[in-house]
Structure 1
Amino acid sequence: MVDVRTEIVINRPAAEVAAYAADPDRAPDWYANIRQVEWRTPKPLAVGSEVAFVAQFLGRRLAYTYRVEEWEPERRFVMRTAEGPFPMETTYGWEPLGASATRMSLRNAGEPAGFSRLAAPFMARMMRRENRKDLRRLKEILEAAPVS
């Protein structure tokens, strides 16, 4: 089992952080490894929405489709995929810290199969490192944006 949780405080209101972070079309802006996003179901985002991603991780091209399992705007967002050698669940959480700051958490959990199972400890370390970088990038983008 791989279970990686990271978090960061972003100096923006929870509504802004959640709206930006949960928008799949914005994922390539702040996720370094995501190259492409394609909606498989009509917008807007809702429970049951499906979004396909193409990513580059550890030198490999990964294509997978997430299905939205939970969507509580400004609070919680859960996506899950069951395809490929590494089924994954990704959870975003947003906790307001006063009126103008938000603690965002990012959790990736999954049960690797085959060769991926042997590499799970290494993959967890790499995922944690990448998630930290991605959250720092998200913080930079949002804190540099004009205040609305």
Structure 2
Amino acid sequence: MIELQEDGEIACPAARVWAVVADYGQDPRWREGVETMAPSPEGIVQVGTTTAEVMRFAGRTYHNGGEVIRVEPGRSFAWRTSSGIDAEGGRLVEPLGENRCRFTFHVRVTPRVTSERLLEPALRWLLRRSIRADVRRLAGLCAS
């Protein structure tokens, strides 16, 4: 199992960051490798929101279905996959003042096939690097 949590301070109000991270339709703008993300319904997540994601990672294309399972409006939500890779995670936005916040991205991936399990250390490194870059892209997007 690969479990990662990455966070970063963002020089933007928490509400602005929440508006981006809680709208899955925005994911291709800040998450590396996300080619398409189709949430239903569109807009800010709610319990039961489903997603259809096409993502490129480590040279492979993944088609993942997902579902939002918990929401604390304006602050956090949790999700899990319903098809594709076996994963779950969450996003959290914490205000640190009027114009600053901390964003935390948590993910747990369970490799299913032997080849992925054998490559788990390399996949963990690649995923951590990718998520760190995602947090930086998110900060830039929210600041612009």
Q: Per-residue deviation at 1:58?
A: 0.7
Please report the TM-score for the alignment, with normalisation by the length of structure 1: 0.90
Distance 2:123 2:67 in 1: 22
- Between 111-120 and 49-58, report the one with greater CA deviation: 111-120
Cα deviation 1:91-129 (Å, max 9, x = unaligned): 111111011100001111122122222222211111100
State the one-letter code of the partner of 2:72. E
State the one-letter code of the partner of 1:5. Q
- Runs of 4+ in structure 1 deviating by more than 2 angstroms, as ranges, are 41-45
The residue aligned with 1:61 is: 61
The residue aligned with 1:112 is: 111
The residue aligned with 1:79 is: 79
Instruction: Indicate if the aligned counterparts of 2:67 and 2:82 stay in contact, CA closer than 8 A.
Output: no
Instruction: Indicate if the aligned counterparts of 1:19 and 1:73 stay in contact, CA closer than 8 A.
Output: no
Instruction: Indicate if the aligned counterparts of 1:53 and 1:65 stay in contact, CA closer than 8 A.
Output: yes
Distance 1:48 1:82 in 2: 12
Distance 2:18 2:76 in 1: 8
The residue aligned with 1:139 is: 139
State the one-letter code of the partner of 2:75. R
What's the % identity of the aligned pairs?
31
Distance 2:120 2:74 in 1: 31
The residue aligned with 2:36 is: 36
State the one-letter code of the partner of 2:31. Y
Please report the TM-score for the alignment, with normalisation by the length of structure 2: 0.92
Gaps of 5+ in 1: none
Task: Please state which structure has a larger fraction of its residues in strand.
Answer: 2
Q: Per-residue deviation at 1:137?
A: 0.5
The residue aligned with 1:93 is: 92
Gaps of 5+ in 2: none
Cα deviation 1:8-46 (Å, max 9, x = unaligned): 10011111101111111110000121001123x333421
State the one-letter code of the partner of 1:33. G
Distance 2:41 2:99 in 1: 32
